[in-house]
Structure 1
Amino acid sequence: MEKENAMGLPLTFDAADGYPLQGRLWRHADAAAQPRPLVIVNPATSVRGDYYARFADYLHGQGFDVLCYDYRGIGGSRPASLRGFSASWLDWGRLDFEGALRWAAANAPRQPILVVAHSVGGFLVGLAPSNHLVQRVFSMGAQFAHWRDYAPRRRLRMLLKWHLAMPVLSGLFGYFPAKRLGWMEDTPHGVVRDWTHPGPRFEDAYRRGPQAMSAEERSRLAEGFAGLRGATLALSVTDDEFGTGPAIQRLLAYYRNSRCLHLRLPPQALGLEGIGHFAFFHSRFQDSLWPIALRWLRDGELDDSLAAYLVDSARQQPAPA
């Protein structure tokens, strides 16, 4: 691949059920000969894979191969009409991310598989049956949107926006017309349902409804998170209204076989005014935030200067709901 192609090369691959997914691949010409790591980028809910292109190009310049892709119903993986289109968080994890893992295993068999996960992308890692292939994870603001974990000062506004307006509009249109509102990508109705229903244990959302599961099936769903054995660095920032301390810890508790580190940074610690839930992947943070991810992905290490911001998990468990 030519280094100057900052957007990578277009790629189509199949999800685990055969659904065609669109993505972009940054790959070195000698990738087949050298066991350089391959990074799969799992986007946030209803965010196009192209949003992460600058970060992917940065990692490519540091010696990694990178795959960014769109979940079904989003961006290049969207059908002609979203009305009535079936897609859910379960599909994104068990089928789409699973498809990305299978593509990597088949097309880069000698390359270690790493994951960069944003927001719900960190949750989807646990849903994929092949998550045991992942050797290391870096996540940013990863959680599954249990409303009690939202930042208290913003909770009411977030409930009105995401748990009232979004499902109402989704019911009216058959999908959430987010683009018309300037919020994000249009979103399949099933994804909206998953976003607005998680309790303190995500699997309990599937007690009833169109994706209802038996108690045994729900238990197996949660147990799948234990398949991840690669180490995880979960980064959160104190001005992220979604990725609060309890929200991050709630998700990490499912990854019981992964060595999980939770790094919680106030933006001011790096001389920054703000970061929030989305800005980490903006290129203006190439010299301040991106090296944190780079060192973890490359070496599985954290700079000593950041050790003071590691969360003591025993004191940061989410409050019972």
Structure 2
Amino acid sequence: MQNDFMIKCGDGKLIAATHYGDEGLPMVIVSSALGTSRRFYDAFAKFLLQKGFQVLTFDYRGVGDSKSRKDDPDVKVSKWGSEDLTAVINWVKTYEPDQWIALVGHSIAGQIFPLAKNKKEVQAAYFVASQTASAYYWDSAHRWKVEVFWNLLFPATTNLTGKLPSWAYGGKYDIPKFAAMEWAEWGKHVNGVLQNSENRIRAFRDTQIPLRFISMDDDKILAPKRAVERLMEQYGGSRKEHHHWYASDFNKRKIGHFGFFQKENFEMWDDVHLWLKRYV
């Protein structure tokens, strides 16, 4: 069973969601990459359904079917966690109050998950290409490109168009102005999403569930190994692990930042459901 619907956030915003499966199965929430529609994860969601999970995908405010004005000040990347993900978890707990919940997050999802007010309802999280946004954790061969993006390309395109165009950062959708501006603040700060916020530092440290981070060796521009490791370090707890994969491990020419979730790479997905089933 697959059902599209809208979820109302605590601040009144409506976000689009899709539910796969029937009641009674463990629930996996899929939290998207920056500027990526939930539809991108459709094949992955159906795979997890076949493996005995319910799945819920959703579009962050300002992305995909969660429409908003490009200059809406309430569309910020931090609110993708504090409002949108919070509302999604609340929906699951209302739908099935005693439900076991896991999160599979892609890219920026690892930065916003601890900002969800009810994150403690989630029992385990698996992150793919989730990294700190801070440019300080890119190696010298690529850091100059990231610095050019944050300091030249980003302000030029955002000021000119009133948004961050998808072509400028390699995503699927344009990013509304205020979300883009906040993301840039994280990118230019040595602590990334944490900045110097005691509340955020505490939110990360209080997240002590089992965590698995996956990075790709050919993802050096968007989520290099060192940046993934840095994000993992910011989380609390001792039940966290990082695995660095090579395309050759799967007889592939490339995986990159988005390849993991593409259906032609379905053989990688066994790692997700087998790991999650340790904790159900």
Alignment correspondent of 2:109: 121
Q: Displacement of 1:73 after TM fit?
A: 0.5
Task: Pick 1 or 2: higher relative contact order, CA cutoff 8 A, min separation 6.
Answer: 2
Structure 2 CA distance, aligned partners of 1:127 and 1:181? 23
Q: 1:165 aligns with which of 153, 160, 184?
A: 153
Which of 7, 23, 31 is 1:13 aligned to? 7
Letter in 1 for 2:224: T
Q: Give the alignment's TM-score, normalised by structure 1.
A: 0.80
Q: d(CA) in 1 for partners of 2:143 and 2:132? A: 15
CA-CA distance at 1:83 after TM superposition? 3.0
Letter in 1 for 2:111: F
Structure 2 letter corresponding to 1:129: K
**Contact 1:83 1:173 survives alignment (8 Å):** no
User: Which digits, 9 at most, give the CA deviation of each residue in 1:208-228, with x for residues without a partner?
Assistant: xxxxxxxxxx20122012332
Measure, in 2, the Cα distance between the counterparts of 1:44 and 1:17: 22
CA contact (8 A) 2:133 2:193 kept: no
Identity, % of aligned positions: 25
Higher deviation after alignment, 58-67 or 257-266: 257-266
* Counterpart residue identity of residue 75, structure 2: A
Structure 1 unpaired stretches of 5+: 2-7, 208-217, 302-321
CA contact (8 A) 2:128 2:214 kept: yes
User: Would the alpha carbon gap of residues 272 and 261 (structure 1) be closer, same or farther in structure 2, given more than 3 Å must change?
Assistant: same
Give me the CA root mean square deviation. Answer: 2.1
Please give the residue correspondences for 1:212-227 in structure 2 after superposition, counting only pairs within 5 Å. Answer: 218-227=197-206
State the secondary structure of the residue aligned to 2:212: strand
CA drift of 1:84 comes to 4.2
Residues in 2 aligned to 1:92 and 1:23: alpha-carbon distance in whole angstroms: 13
Specify whether residues 274 and 197 from structure 1 end up closer, same or farther in structure 2 by C-alpha distance, changes over 3 A only: same
Q: 2:262 aligns with which of 270, 276, 282?
A: 282
Does structure 1 retain, via aligned residues, the 8 Å contact 2:36–2:171?
A: no
The CA deviation at 1:160 is 2.8
2:226 is matched with: 246
Question: Which of residues 66, 71, 79 in structure 2 aligns to 1:91?
Answer: 79
Matched, 1:187 2:167: no
Cα pair distance change 1:265/1:181, threshold 3 Å: closer
Residue 233 of structure 1 corresponds to 212
Answer whether contact 2:157 2:164 (CA < 8 A) is retained: yes
Q: Is the 8 A contact 1:129 1:224 kept in 2?
A: no
Structure 1 position 202 matched with structure 2 position 192: yes
Q: What count of residue pairs does the alignment treat as equivalent?
A: 277
Aligned pairs for 1:66-81 (under 5 A) are 66-79=55-68, 81=69
Is the CA contact 1:144–1:195 (under 8 Å) kept in the aligned structure 2? Answer: no
Distance 1:181 1:276, change over 3 A: closer
Supply the distance in 1 between the matched residues of 2:90 and 2:194 (Cα, whole angstroms).
28
- Give 5+ residue unaligned stretches, structure 2: none
CA contact (8 A) 1:84 1:175 kept: no
Correspondent of 1:57 among 46, 67, 81? 46
Give the TM-score of the pair, scaled to structure 2: 0.91
Alpha-carbon deviations, 1:75-129, whole Å to 9, x = none?
11122x3134431121111111111111111112222010000001111111112
Contact 2:218 2:246 in 1 (8 A): yes
CA distance in 2, matches of 1:203, 1:141: 16
